[in-house]
Amino acid sequence: MAEVLLFHHSQGLTDGVRAFAGELREAGHTVHTPDLFEGRTFGSIEEGMAYVKSVGFAEIAARGVKAAETLTNELVYAGFSLGVVPAQQLAQTRPAARGALFFDSALPAEEFGAWPTGLPLQIHAMERDEFYLEDADAAKALVAEGGELFLYDGDQHLFADSSLPSYDEQAAKLLTERVLKFLETR
């Protein structure tokens, strides 16, 4: 079974992120869900991003890196939207990563150097999500290194968070199935 370090999105460590982690745990995986916002959650992406800006993107990323310090290096790094930042940084810079799962977002590999040769990757997003569309070129470049890109019909950001109005049950179920299959071999 895999060990996963899962980072939340800009609305914080919501009940929906916890529920997703719970589904992975029920399948037998170990899942760590650090709270990069120190207990704060927000009612909208805009409110969450205002908090991130007040604290600083570098500080949020540093909190993510710190969350990994006491864990084994042999992790699957996962993140929802904003959480992709520390997940991708760790996947690309920490030796012995087992895989990466990016939901709703992706960054150019150059942000953290080159994508590690052979590191398995899945990216999941809704095909008309305005936030994902800003990252689409980066996502395509990353999967060209050997990853998988799964696009779902729709335009919702954070569609796999069951605690948010953007939740799409059918797409989230398919995402979870694909993620569990990915984790079986990690």
Instruction: Please give the mean pLDDT across all residues of the chain.
Output: 97
Pair 80, 160: CB distance under 8 Å:
yes
> For residue 105, what are the domain limits?
3-184
pLDDT at 98: 97
Residue 158's nearest CA partner among 57, 9, 46, 37 is 9
pLDDT at 145 over 90: no
Pull the structure tokens for residue 18: 């916890």
Give the Å distances, CA to CA, from 4 to 7, 100, 167. 10, 9, 22
pLDDT at 146 over 90: no
- pLDDT for 102-120, tens place per residue? 999 999 999 999 999 999 9
Pair 160, 20: CB distance under 8 Å:
yes
pLDDT at 71: 97
pTM of the model: 0.97
- pLDDT for 52-105, tens place per residue? 999 999 999 999 999 999 999 999 999 999 999 999 999 999 999 999 999 999
CATH number of the structural domain spanning residue 40? 3.40.50.1820
Residue 103's nearest CA partner among 72, 73, 77, 67 is 77
Residue recorded with tokens 């960054």: 107
DSSP assignment letter at 137: H
C-beta atoms surrounding 112 within 10 Å:
16
One-character DSSP codes across 2-69: -EEEEE-BTTBS-HHHHHHHHHHHHTT-EEE---TTTT-B-SSHHHHHHHHHHH-HHHHHHHHHHHHT
pLDDT at 119: 97
C-beta atoms surrounding 104 within 10 Å:
26
Domain count, the chain: 1
One-character DSSP codes across 155-171: --TTTT-TTSTT--HHH
Give the Å distances, CA to CA, from 40 to 11, 111, 170. 8, 27, 28
Main-chain dihedrals φ then ψ at residue 3, nearest 5 degrees: -115, 125
